[in-house]
Structure 1
Amino acid sequence: MISTVGTSQLTAETIANYFIWQARETGSYISNLKLQKLVYYAQAWYLAIYDQPLFDDDFEAWIHGSVIPKLYEQYKQFAWMPILKEVEKPNFSNEINEFLEQVTEIYFGCDTFELEQMIHREDPWINARGNLPMDSPCNAIISKESMREYYKQRAAEKE
């Protein structure tokens, strides 16, 4: 019997595995940096749409955008190169699958630099860093509440 993963069992790693699987399926390039941004947008939009986090892990407002440190550590050996890891497609509920397909449709085709620049222009990253220069190291948490509010407002603007 195959069981599906509900949101209470999701982690940043299972969401990352989905995007790594997607890259391998489509023959696309996915670096650690791009992976972080895709996982970030999945969390951000899930918070905005469903008013709850997709997973518990927190993002920090690093120089190159949003990063989950333990996820970064897991893939840092790939540096700027594509992540070459064999993963199976996670078995999510239909709701999660459909949601991640939409995130993929919108963000997967963006290159890493484009995703980084998008996050640099958005309030959750900017506010978490405060008055720090863009090139200063920072480990401040990007709060889930700031993500939820910002992307909920963006969703309302698109309606």
Structure 2
Amino acid sequence: MQKRNFLGGMVLILGIGAIIMKMVRGKKTEGNHMEKVEAIKEEVNANINDVADWFMLKGAMSNKKVQKLCYYAQAWSLALYDSPIATDSKFEAWVHGPVNKTLWNRFKCFGWSEFQLTEPERVREILNTKFSESQNKILESVWETYGEFSADELEKMTHEEKPWLEKRKGIGKFESCNDEISESTMKEYYRSRVIE
């Protein structure tokens, strides 16, 4: 397995049969990439709520944090497997970063507060049938990379990335926007993080 060290930003390190993501704290630098992989089409059996539940099995979190984790799972699945991580996985360029309306409607009652699953063992059983091995690797890698960051830190990261910025162009900082973030831009942008 080959490791790459950078002063800051995200680094994805891909080894044979495994995806390992590592976040390096520090000043953000341009040009942080990951090794090139060939896109493999994956069958999609999960919906976006399944993706959220997968992350919530890791512990309590806010609506904003689960939204951003699901966004990154979608983005990296598109980039690496040329396939969405789940159905209903469209994200819009809201003020606080990418938001999936299905998840928003499910979790909006919690406001800014953290919440957790009430029956984690039952959810874990259900999720065992939803994701392929490759999809589980994406989810685990996204968690390993982004899970340690707060919702606000994740928001800030998405605000510095092309897919969200592209849809917010010409829109005020606190102005509402329901424009859907382009999956092709997500795929292209995150693939551009691949080291050739």
TM-score after normalising by structure 2 = 0.71
1:14 aligns with 2:50: yes
| Match runs of 1:21-32 below 5 Å | 21-23=57-59, 29-32=60-63
More deviation, 32-41/80-89: 80-89
CA contact (8 A) 1:48 1:155 kept: no
CA contact (8 A) 2:44 2:84 kept: no
CA contact (8 A) 2:76 2:138 kept: no
> Which residue of structure 1 lines up, in the alignment, with residue 76 of structure 2?
45
| Match runs of 1:9-158 below 5 Å | 9-23=45-59, 29-56=60-87, 57-86=89-118, 87=120, 88-89=123-124, 90-91=127-128, 92-156=131-195
Q: CA deviation at 1:130?
A: 2.1
Specify the code of the residue in structure 2 equivalent to 1:147: M
Q: Which runs of 5+ in 2 are unaligned?
A: 1-41
Q: CA RMSD in A?
A: 1.4
Q: Deviations over 1:130-153 (max 9, x none)?
A: 210121100000011010000000
Distance 1:47 1:19 in 2: 18
Q: CA deviation at 1:95?
A: 1.8
Q: Which runs of 5+ in 1 are unaligned?
A: 1-5, 24-28
Name the one with the larger helix percent. 1
How many pairs does the alignment contain?
147
Distance 1:35 1:76 in 2: 12
SS across alignment from 1:119: helix
Name the one with the larger strand percent. 2
SS across alignment from 2:44: helix
More deviation, 80-89/139-148: 80-89
Distance 2:136 2:166 in 1: 31
TM-score after normalising by structure 1 = 0.87
SS across alignment from 1:8: coil
Q: Could you say which structure has the greater relative contact order, defined with CA pairs below 8 angstroms and 6 or more residues apart? A: 1
Q: CA deviation at 1:129?
A: 1.7
SS across alignment from 1:61: strand
Structure 1 segments (4+ residues) deviating >4 Å: none
CA contact (8 A) 1:58 1:142 kept: yes
